[in-house]
Chain A
Amino acid sequence: MKSSYRRWFMRLFAVVCVAPVLVFAQSGNPIAIPMITPLTGPGAILGQDMQKGVAVAVEQINKAGGIKAFGGRPLQIEVVDTQGKPEVVRVEMERLAVRNNAPMILGGEISAGTGAAAQFAETYGIPFINSAAANADLLRRGYKWYFTEQMTSEDEAATWLALLKHLAEKAGGPAPTVAFLYEDSPRGAGIVKLAKKPVEGAGFKVVADVAYNRAERNLLTHVAKVQQAAPEVVMWAGYLDDVAAGLKAMQQLNFAPYILGAGGGPGDPRMPELVGAAFVEKVKLSTVDYFAPDTERAKKFVVPFIKKYGHVPSSYASIGYRAAFLAKAILEKSGKLDRAAIRTAIQGLNIPGEDLISPFKSVRFGPDGRNLGAQNAVTQWQGGQRITVWPPAVAVKPPAPLRRR
């Protein structure tokens, strides 16, 4: 009798000890997916914003029951700092792939770092999914393990031209004169290189082509050079800090052309605060973007983000959110943490546009790793808010008209 009690007690003890471990292994043990991004260094603003987007997404995913294909295990996105340096990217990729045995790696890096990461992923055979860099060159290298969900600079250039044509058509008269102003990194110079010929080919006269280095502190001279050419439209590719400095120079020079922007700068939600809301509207500051915060589909991200952080998310923040949900979709489809299975799952993925927060038609990867459903929107500052004005299929309002001189 005494021994059966003891046996019963021992069994109970074993169940009490082992059960939580089993439950934890089934649904409590999170699936950790790393994401590389610059959290420090000159590009820190990108990574810091992205981290906020990741936090909102992970909260939503786990609240909704985690990754169902893995018995509801929660998702954990490990945001890894690369300082925006390709050499640090290589070291971190190696650590994550070899030591941590990550099933896949998410990319929230600028173009240079993404190139280094893609190269490593190809050599080591680990899926690397870029959600940030717009460089299209990597897609022409025949990589098997590199996928880009992000739009490319080719898409940006095409959207730029389409909107320019639309504005010219609506304004009537001869084709407006155009100037290119851009920071001279592969990002800024790359998009201008892709856009210039088609713009000229479409009959627009390019009256100035002015490049500057992002590190320059005073853009008065560069902007004065553009002003001297008297363009009606300035096509400007730049980041937040240089575009803010350039817009201040424009104010000082009394120069207010219609600005069609690209890159992270012109659409950044901090812009009106940095240079003044009135001037931002005066120049019809618009930007080709992968995030349109006023669209219906973006609400599932924008509303909780504002609730959590008290301000409208930047496009960088949207990258973090998109990347986390993409990781979830991949894991649900693969059902395994095996790299080859994950690669197959990525290739078979097809997320419809209405499930996304971006203006993309879908997320569906082509044989070169390109997102075939990537589609840009153009947002414009109107009434103190970023309004989606292009393409007509997703536009909330029409773009401000181009007034001819």
Chain B
Amino acid sequence: MITGTLLVQALISGLLMGGIYALVALALALAFGVLRVLNFAHGDLLMVAMYGAVVLHRWLGLHPYGSILVLAVPMLLLGWAMFVGLIRPVQRAGVLVQAQMTLGVSFVIQSAALMIFGADLLNIRTDLEMSVLRVAGVVVSIPLAVGFAVSLLISGILSWALLGTDAGRRVRATAQDPDMARLCGVDVERTQRWVFALSVALLAGVAGCLMTFTYVVPTAGLQYSVLALLVVMLGGLGDLKGAFLGGLLIGVAEALAGVFLNSAVGPAVIYVLFGLTLLFRPRGLFSRGMEA
């Protein structure tokens, strides 16, 4: 029997998980909006940061939240190098070439992780992991709530940076029309390089949040890539607000499917939602993204 408490539990749990999904997708949406390159290795780069958090915890005893700041710099450099070495050369090539390139990177990262760390599940045990807040019979997971807060914070900072700073204006100009931006004196390549590097650096934040309650395996990247792509397409390609809302929607839909459906059909609900969006709102939830 489905009680009110169970329903509220599912809604809250789904919403908080959705916040994390939004955070995973935001970086992808940002990079796509400015570069017009869909990075299929996005989840694998996140997986690299998650392994980084595990290594920092095992070597230095660093808490996953503490690892965010430490990992941000190497992730930024990794993003920078990936843009210069791999993305830039295929930026003007067709979509298929770009997809093949990023998919290739994804396989290389996966295989490297398997060779270095093996297939074992690696996690970080902290006091925070099981901590919860109980409100009227409903359990709120603290790590999920923190993840949600971090997601809100990063979205807020991104919005402010994009709307209220000169650098943000350059980014928006590049996203809207790179040729016109170039004519107006914007160094388009530099802007794109920074945006891609920052989008990869953002994954350090996501990894820090994820590693407080979940684990990492070499194939985790693929799951996160698929998830991020679904969220980004649901929200509209390149639309940050849409990506945030898309993440929340997927989180809630997943949790409610768990309550109402009692089978493997649960995860399929997300794809039904995705299909309906493509059918009726091909430019995303706010109809502001590129047509998928």
The listed residue (A216, A252, A273, A276) touching B141 by CB distance below 8 A is A252
**Cβ of A221 < 8 Å from any Cβ of B?**
yes
What residues of chain A lie closer than 8 Å to B123, measured between beta carbons?
Answer: 244, 274
**Number of chain B interface residues as a range:** 35 or more
Q: Which among B9-17, B190-198, B283-291 touches the partner chain?
A: B9-17
The listed residue (A44, A253, A274) touching B215 by CB distance below 8 A is A274
The listed residue (A218, A245, A276) touching B254 by CB distance below 8 A is A218
CB-CB under 8 A for A213 and B266, given A45-B217, A48-B119, A225-B6 = yes
Q: Establish whether residues A222 and B121, one from each chain, have CB atoms under 8 Å apart when the complex forms.
A: no
What residues of chain B lie closer than 8 Å to A211, measured between beta carbons?
Answer: 262-264
The listed residue (B3, B6, B114, B213) touching A44 by CB distance below 8 A is B114
Q: What number of A residues sit within 8 Å (CB to CB) of B?
A: 37
**Cβ of B109 < 8 Å from any Cβ of A?**
no
CB-CB under 8 A for A210 and B255, given A42-B219, A215-B267, A220-B139 = no
CB-CB under 8 A for A44 and B125, given A211-B264, A220-B13, A221-B13 = no
Q: Establish whether residues A40 and B266, one from each chain, have CB atoms under 8 Å apart when the complex forms.
A: no
What residues of chain A lie closer than 8 Å to B3, measured between beta carbons?
Answer: 228
Q: Establish whether residues A44 and B218, one from each chain, have CB atoms under 8 Å apart when the complex forms.
A: yes
Q: Establish whether residues A252 and B139, one from each chain, have CB atoms under 8 Å apart when the complex forms.
A: yes
Give bound CA distance, A253 to B13, whole Å. 12
Give bound CA distance, A386 to B169, whole Å. 61
**Cβ of A224 < 8 Å from any Cβ of B?**
yes
CB-CB under 8 A for A270 and B9, given A213-B264, A241-B217 = no
Q: Establish whether residues B6 and A224, one from each chain, have CB atoms under 8 Å apart when the complex forms.
A: yes
Give bound CA distance, A49 to B3, whole Å. 43
Q: Establish whether residues B215 and A220, one from each chain, have CB atoms under 8 Å apart when the complex forms.
A: no
Q: Establish whether residues B6 and A48, one from each chain, have CB atoms under 8 Å apart when the complex forms.
A: no
What residues of chain A lie closer than 8 Å to B263, measured between beta carbons?
Answer: 184, 211
| B229-273 interface code vs A (CB 8 A; 1 in, 0 out) | 000000000000000000000000011001100111011000000
**Cβ of A284 < 8 Å from any Cβ of B?**
no
What residues of chain A lie closer than 8 Å to B13, measured between beta carbons?
Answer: 218, 220-221
Q: Establish whether residues A225 and B259, one from each chain, have CB atoms under 8 Å apart when the complex forms.
A: yes
What residues of chain B lie closer than 8 Å to A225, measured between beta carbons?
Answer: 6, 258-259
A residues adjacent to B (C-beta < 8 A): 40-42, 44-45, 47-49, 184-185, 209-213, 215-218, 220-222, 224-225, 228, 240-241, 244-245, 248, 251-253, 270, 273-274, 276
27 contacts between A and B (CB under 8 A): A40-B218, A44-B114, A44-B217, A45-B119, A48-B118, A48-B120, A185-B264, A209-B262, A210-B262, A211-B262, A211-B263, A212-B258, A218-B17, A220-B13, A221-B9, A221-B10, A221-B13, A221-B255, A224-B10, A224-B139, A225-B259, A240-B121, A241-B121, A248-B213, A251-B130, A252-B132, A252-B139
Query: Told that A184-B264, A216-B258, A252-B132 touch, could you supply 10 new A-B pairs with CB distance under 8 A?
Result: A40-B114, A40-B218, A44-B119, A45-B119, A184-B263, A216-B254, A217-B214, A224-B10, A248-B213, A274-B123
B residues adjacent to A (C-beta < 8 A): 1, 3, 6, 9-10, 13-14, 17, 110-111, 114, 118-121, 123, 125, 129-130, 132, 139, 141, 144, 213-215, 217-219, 223, 254-255, 258-259, 262-264, 266-267
